[in-house]
């Protein structure tokens, strides 16, 4: 039986890499994004028939959107096996310049979105007796961030904590929850966020002297979503080139 996964923020950036990795590994993939047209376009490019890919407009702040996505997947495929919480807002601002509303806007997407998605699909997985949730956290949530703002770093730190809570509470029901905490990745979004000279300087601070490979992060997500990943429950997998060691 082909596994089925919902990936949030899946239309571009790391999300698109995740979508392609899961689909390439033989999964049925629901591509969700607040940009529904982009999500549909990517899904069609993978499988125009809709048998192994579908696109969904999804605002991760909205419980009803997650419930609708769940229902569409169940109607189309009859099963859902995994959720990847990837949708993200990334901003870089000095902490004293962040307006409270700006702080809330980032946390609403990154942290609330992970909570709502994990709750909606956690209930489904608990009922089914099986499921996998993989959260995309960040090095910034572990070290306070180097090139990002306090709102981003705080939200990612919160995701690591939520991972532990959901992992503990859902484990008795066959559900494993884990997180990946990447350092700076070689993505257009990173190059847009960090000026070229600053990015070069940042790269020099990484012990391996290079940015991370998004494909490796995606393959790690596929690994953690597998049926043999139960014992990784509650873990945060580091991939930061040696910037943060523990």
Q: How far apart are CA 165 and CA 159, in angstroms?
A: 10
Tokens, residue 61: 């702040």
Residues 6+ apart with CB under 8 A from 16: 10, 42
Long-range contacts of residues 37-43, Cβ cutoff 8 Å, at least 24 apart:
38/11, 38/12, 39/10, 39/11, 41/11, 42/10, 42/11, 42/16
152 is catalytic: yes
Taking the C-alpha atoms of residue 85 and residue 61, their distance in angstroms, rounded to an integer, is: 12
Task: Work out the end-to-end distance of the chain between its first and last CA atoms, rounded to an integer number of angstroms.
Answer: 38
Q: Quote the CA–CA distance of 55 and 32 in Å, as a whole number.
A: 6
Q: For residue 85, what are the β-bridge partners?
A: 135
* Catalytic residue from among 22, 115, 121, 152: 152
**Residues recognised as catalytic:** 152
């Amino acid at each position: 039986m082909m596994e089925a996964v919902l990936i949030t923020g899946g239309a571009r950036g790391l999300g698109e890499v995740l979508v392609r990795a899961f689909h390439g590994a033989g999964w049925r993939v629901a591509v969700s994004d607040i940009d529904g047209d982009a999500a549909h376009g990517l899904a069609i490019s993978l499988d125009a028939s809709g048998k192994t890919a579908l696109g969904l407009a999804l605002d991760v702040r909205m419980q009803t959107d997650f419930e609708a996505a769940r229902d569409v997947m169940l109607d189309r495929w009859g099963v859902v096996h995994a959720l990847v919480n990837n949708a993200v807002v990334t901003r870089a601002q000095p902490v004293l310049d962040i307006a409270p509303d700006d702080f809330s806007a980032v946390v609403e997407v990154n942290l609330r979105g992970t909570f709502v998605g994990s709750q909606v699909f956690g209930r489904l997985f608990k009922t089914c007796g099986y499921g996998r949730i993989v959260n995309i956290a960040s090095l910034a949530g572990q070290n306070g961030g180097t090139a990002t703002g306090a709102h981003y770093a705080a939200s990612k730190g919160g995701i690591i904590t939520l991972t532990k809570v959901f992992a503990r509470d859902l484990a008795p029901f066959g559900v494993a929850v884990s997180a990946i905490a990447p350092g700076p990745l070689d993505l257009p979004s990173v190059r847009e966020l960090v000026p070229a000279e600053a990015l070069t300087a940042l790269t020099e601070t990484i012990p391996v002297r290079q940015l991370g490979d998004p494909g490796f992060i995606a393959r790690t997500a596929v690994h953690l979503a597998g049926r043999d990943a139960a014992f990784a429950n509650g873990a945060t997998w580091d991939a930061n080139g040696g910037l943060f060691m523990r």
